[in-house]
Amino acid sequence: MSDTQREERLRKLEELKGRGVSPFGARFETTGTIAEILASFNDDEPGTSVVAAGRMVANRPHGKAGFLNIRDWTGRIQVYVRKDVVGDEAFEIYNLLDLGDIIGVAGELQKTRTGETTIFAKSLTVLCKALRPLPEKYHGLRDIETRQRRRYLDLIANEESMEAFLKRTRMTRCIRRWLDDRGFVEVETPMMHHIAGGAAAKPFVTHHNALDLDLFMRIAPELHLKRLVVGGMDKVYEINRNFRNEGISTRHNPEFTMIEIYEAYSDFEGMIRLAEELIGFIVDDVNGSRKVAYGDSEIDFSEPWRRARYAELLREYAGVDVNDAEALTEKAAKLGIDVAELTPDEIIDELFSEAVEPNLIQPTFVTHFPASMCPLAKFDPENPNVALRFELFVTGMEIVNAYSELNDPIEQMARFRRQAGGDESKIDVDFVEALEHGLPPTGGYGMGIDRLAMILLNRQSIRDVILFPLLRPEGKASD
């Protein structure tokens, strides 16, 4: 933006004030949203009085008249302004307007000769004078960093971005509606924890001054939600923000949104059914079809979804046996994975990510993970080397992680101790004590809402479905 542009807008600001016009407006009652006003038009009864408000996004003055367009978050509408109708003073105010200004309009709803539904203005009200212009490429702001860093400009300039984020909001409404209708209760659990638990992730550390206590930002709400099931809340869920101090990529943001669901007397089979029904409901509502366009692919959410065991997929796509440590290490090294400092489980996980996951484009339940990788899940009684756990993959991304919850407190403590490597301070003893009071057989389910939004909104980067993704401060050089 040039200094001249801003100076000109400031000059108009002062001129408005000089005319006794408040450039930053006040409460303004409308007939409804622009979409509602457009929908109300009746060909048999033109001339209905309406009042609308929005941002001016186009202006075509023609001497003593002009056409302008205003837009709110539901749509845009054309406004026709005539000097002999609104009066000299109002028309002079109209001539002081700039693109980006927010105005109110009262008038009659009619159609022009070209058939466009239009408000024939009788009065204009300045609601907010914009001191900065819209982006130069307003009709399609395409610079990715600008769109992510200044989301407000993206929402103003790109109607498809506004639509996408409203659809994302619709997704969470769908989730709540589906779960509430089935007797689940939404709860809130702490976002600062004494011990970082519920997932294998590096936490952010903060400090509570009054207690002189280091705390961890939540990496998962799992252990608190299961405490509630112990307490008798048999069907609970939380749409939650989690924080993981790890890398940033097109699929990872340090702060992200999940839903976790716990249902007493269920198991991982029950969670598979829940996944198909809940996600199917969301897809139907948001997309209108079980077939979803994503990049160059078409994702078919029609049931049933494929099921395949973890070991079977490793054999299919990597050509190795999950129990052959030497072959796993050799294969991982061939794929360029640095295995020098990885544990056996980490080697398997990296190999699965590299060789298998990119092939899981259509919805696929990956079941029966290696038991050593699942410290919070029950093991299969018929094969204790695998856990009763599944992950749902779509477009090569993990969308859901779920399992039959371990409810044996003695076994849970033993696993925590192995995981902590002798550091008792890393063990959530209070959680184990809660299990000793009795956790019924329970199915647990965690779903990444951001990633599901990527698929349903056909976005290739998680930053495009998060209103304010974490970005490096402007002007700070890359490492």
pLDDT of res. 192? 87
User: Whole-angstrom Cα distance, residue 31 to residue 52?
Assistant: 6
Long-range contacts of 287-293 (CB under 8 A, 24+ apart): 287/456, 292/455, 292/456, 292/458, 293/458
Q: How many Cα atoms within 13 Å fall on the side-chain side of residue 298?
A: 5
Token readout for 355 is 């060789």
Q: How many other C-beta atoms lie within 10 A of the C-beta of residue 341?
A: 6
pLDDT of res. 471? 86
Which residues sit opposite 366 in a β-bridge? 308, 391
Element (H, E) at 445: strand 442-448
- 109 — phi, psi (to 5°)? -90, 115
Domains belonging to the chain, first-starting first, are 3-134 (2.40.50.140), 154-305+362-464 (3.30.930.10)
Token readout for 7 is 């100076």
User: Whole-angstrom Cα distance, residue 66 to residue 443?
Assistant: 63
Chain segment 281-295, per-residue pLDDT in tens: 999 999 999 999 999
What distances in angstroms separate CA 331 from CA 213, 315, 341, one per listed residue? Answer: 45, 11, 16
State percent of the chain over pLDDT 70: 97
Element (H, E) at 121: strand 117-128
Question: Would you call 61 helix, strand, or coil by DSSP?
Answer: strand
Contact (CB, 8 A) for 412 and 428: no
For 410, counting Cβ atoms within 10 Å of its Cβ (0-12 exposed, 13-18 middle, 19+ buried), the class is: exposed
Which residues sit opposite 79 in a β-bridge? 68, 119
- For 387-406, letters b (16+ CB in 10 Å) and e give bbbbbbbbbebbbbbbbbbb
Chain segment 61-78, per-residue pLDDT in tens: 999 999 999 999 999 999
* pLDDT higher than 60, residue 478: no
* pLDDT higher than 90, residue 23: yes
46 pLDDT band, cuts 50/70/90, is confident
Task: Of 180, 177, 82, give the one whose Cα is nearest residue 122.
Answer: 82
**Average pLDDT score over the chain:** 93
pLDDT of res. 202? 87
The letter for the amino acid at 323 is: N
Chain segment 373-426, per-residue pLDDT in tens: 999 999 999 999 999 999 999 999 999 999 999 999 999 999 999 888 878 888
* pLDDT higher than 50, residue 479: no
Mean pLDDT, residues 442-463 taken together: 96
DSSP string, 153-190: HHHHH-HHHHHHHHHHHHHHHHHHHHHHHTT-EE----
Contact (CB, 8 A) for 412 and 378: no
User: Whole-angstrom Cα distance, residue 319 to residue 380?
Assistant: 24
pLDDT of res. 386? 97
Contact (CB, 8 A) for 374 and 349: no
Q: How many other C-beta atoms lie within 10 A of the C-beta of residue 60?
A: 10
The strand order across the sheet containing 364-367 reads 185-186, 235-243, 255-264, 442-448, 397-404, 389-394, 364-367, 306-309
- For 260-270, letters b (16+ CB in 10 Å) and e give bbbbbebbbeb
* pLDDT higher than 60, residue 362: yes
CA-based torsion, 7, 12, 17, 18: positive or negative = positive
* pLDDT higher than 80, residue 279: yes
Taken as a whole, the chain contains a residue count of 479
Q: How many Cα atoms within 13 Å fall on the side-chain side of residue 386?
A: 16
Contact (CB, 8 A) for 405 and 378: yes
* pLDDT higher than 80, residue 344: yes
Helix, strand, coil tally for the chain in percent (to 5): 35, 30, 35
Contact (CB, 8 A) for 176 and 239: yes
What is the reported pTM? 0.91
- Beta strands 185-186; 235-243: pairing state: parallel
Chain segment 454-477, per-residue pLDDT in tens: 999 999 999 999 999 988 887 665
For tokens 């006040």, what's the residue?
26
Contact (CB, 8 A) for 87 and 115: no
* pLDDT higher than 80, residue 138: no
- 22 — phi, psi (to 5°)? -75, 115
The letter for the amino acid at 18 is: G
- 446 — phi, psi (to 5°)? -125, 130
Query: Is the bond leading into 304 cis (omega within 30 degrees of zero)?
Result: yes
Token readout for 298 is 């078409």
